[in-house]
């Protein structure tokens, strides 16, 4: 039985991982001016940052639409796959899940997983789905296992600046100004209900903040699933990435430490120099 594992571009997996695990990606859209461009295909993260600097506004993002999903599922079926397991960003953050479900109604053996998360939190689920596929599990079995496993994800990140959230109307501009003035670096936690909220606030340099953030997140060592951890950033320096990895490995011996870069959708909301660690708890 041939099962296709796929995900929206918000999973933030690297091209190397996408090829290694044979994952299909459905891109969201980024609107720059009057053009709708496919995430990480027709537009890059640097294009977005240049656009923001030029226009002082962030681009709008749009979900994969029902037609795109229907076209994708048709293509997969025509290629001879027996089933599909597709992962979307949290339904609380985008209409991707709703659109994918509407398209899937016209197909048999197509399962849509609302990840209830974003970025490489989705990536964890996708890689696990590929491993289960290669073990010979059916699409339904993979869906059922990952529906439970997603509840164990711990997904969070630290922001260097609230500017992009303020430009997008997701936080008060005065609050963003105050945070910058006071050198506050907030950590944002993705909750299991698919929403996000501030977890902690660090008043220090960004490099010190990310180390303190990692130490806080990995403090409860007995709860950690040590198979794999993602370190995902939206354009941080090598020094910041190395500081995070060093802090991670000082805290816990993860079998895999994988660095990835956030795609255009995530980066357009958080801005440059945002970094997070994403892992499972037992």
Helices (H), 79-172: 96-104, 120-134, 139-149, 163-167
Give the residue numbers spanning the domain of 129.
3-150
CA distances 223 to 197, 218, 252, 279, Å, are 22, 9, 11, 11
173 and 145, same domain (yes or no): no
76 and 127, same domain (yes or no): yes
- In degrees and rounded to multiples of 5, residue 228 shows phi and psi of -160, 145
Pairwise CA distance, residues 142 & 5, whole Å? 10
Count CB neighbours of 213 within 10 A: 24
Q: What is the CATH classification number for the domain harbouring 52?
A: 3.40.50.10170
Please give the helix or strand (H or E) that residue 61 lies within, else none. strand 60-62
The whole-number pLDDT of residue 180 equals: 52
167 and 249, same domain (yes or no): yes
CA distances 3 to 73, 74, 75, 145, 273, Å, are 12, 14, 13, 15, 37
Q: Among 150, 173, 193, give the residue marking a domain's end.
A: 150
137 and 156, same domain (yes or no): no
20 and 53, same domain (yes or no): yes
Structure tokens at 14: 């690297």
Angle of helix 96-104 versus helix 66-78 axis, rounded to 10: 50
Q: Among 123, 150, 177, give the residue marking a domain's end.
A: 150
174 and 114, same domain (yes or no): no
Question: What is this structure's pTM?
Answer: 0.94
Per-position pLDDT tens, the chain of length 282: 899 999 999 999 999 999 999 999 999 999 998 899 999 999 999 999 999 889 988 889 999 999 999 999 999 999 999 999 999 999 999 999 999 999 999 999 999 999 999 999 999 999 999 999 999 999 999 999 999 999 999 999 999 877 666 555 544 433 443 445 447 898 889 999 998 888 899 989 999 999 999 999 999 999 999 999 999 999 999 999 999 999 999 999 999 999 999 999 989 888 888 999 999 999
Q: Among 96, 128, 150, give the residue marking a domain's end.
A: 150
77 and 28, same domain (yes or no): yes
Q: Strands of 60-62's sheet, edge to edge?
A: 35-38, 29-32, 60-62
Structure tokens at 273: 């120099």
Overall number of domains in the chain: 2
75 and 117, same domain (yes or no): yes
97 and 218, same domain (yes or no): no
Do strands 110-114 and 83-88 pair parallel, antiparallel, or not at all (unpaired)?
parallel
35 and 135, same domain (yes or no): yes
Q: What is the CATH classification number for the domain harbouring 252?
A: 3.30.1180.10
114 and 231, same domain (yes or no): no
173 and 122, same domain (yes or no): no
Q: Is 218 exposed, middle or buried (0-12, 13-18, 19+ CB in 10 A)?
A: buried
Q: Which residues contact 86 (CB under 8 A, 6 or more apart)?
A: 5, 6, 7, 26, 100, 104, 110, 111, 112, 113
Q: Which residue has the tokens 């299991």?
A: 192
Please give the helix or strand (H or E) that residue 199 lies within, else none. strand 196-203
């Amino acid at each position: 039985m041939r099962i296709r594992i796929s995900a929206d571009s918000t999973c933030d997996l690297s091209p190397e991982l996408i090829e290694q695990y044979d994952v299909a990606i459905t891109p969201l859209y980024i609107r720059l001016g009057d053009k709708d461009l496919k995430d990480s295909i027709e537009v890059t993260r640097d294009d977005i940052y240049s656009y923001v600097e030029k226009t002082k506004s962030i681009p709008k993002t749009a979900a994969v639409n029902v037609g795109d999903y229907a076209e994708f599922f048709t293509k997969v079926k025509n290629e001879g796959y027996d089933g599909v397991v597709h992962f979307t960003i949290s339904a609380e953050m985008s209409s991707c899940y709703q659109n994918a479900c509407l398209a899937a109604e016209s197909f048999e053996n197509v399962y849509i997983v609302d990840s209830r998360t974003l970025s490489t939190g989705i990536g964890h689920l996708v890689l696990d789905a590929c491993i289960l596929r290669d073990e010979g599990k059916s699409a339904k079995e993979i869906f059922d296992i990952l529906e439970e496993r997603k509840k164990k994800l711990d997904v969070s990140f630290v922001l260097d600046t609230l500017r992009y959230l303020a430009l997008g109307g997701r936080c008060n501009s005065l609050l963003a100004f105050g945070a910058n003035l006071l050198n506050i670096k907030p950590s944002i936690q993705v909750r299991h209900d698919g929403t996000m909220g501030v977890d902690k606030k660090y008043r220090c340099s960004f490099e010190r903040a990310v180390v303190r953030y990692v130490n806080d997140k990995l403090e409860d060592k007995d709860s950690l699933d040590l198979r794999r951890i993602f370190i995902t950033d939206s354009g941080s320096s090598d020094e910041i990435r190395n500081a995070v990895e060093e802090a991670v490995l000082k805290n816990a011996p993860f079998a895999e430490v994988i660095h990835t870069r956030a795609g255009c959708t995530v980066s357009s909301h958080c801005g440059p120099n945002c970094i997070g660690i994403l892992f499972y708890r037992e």
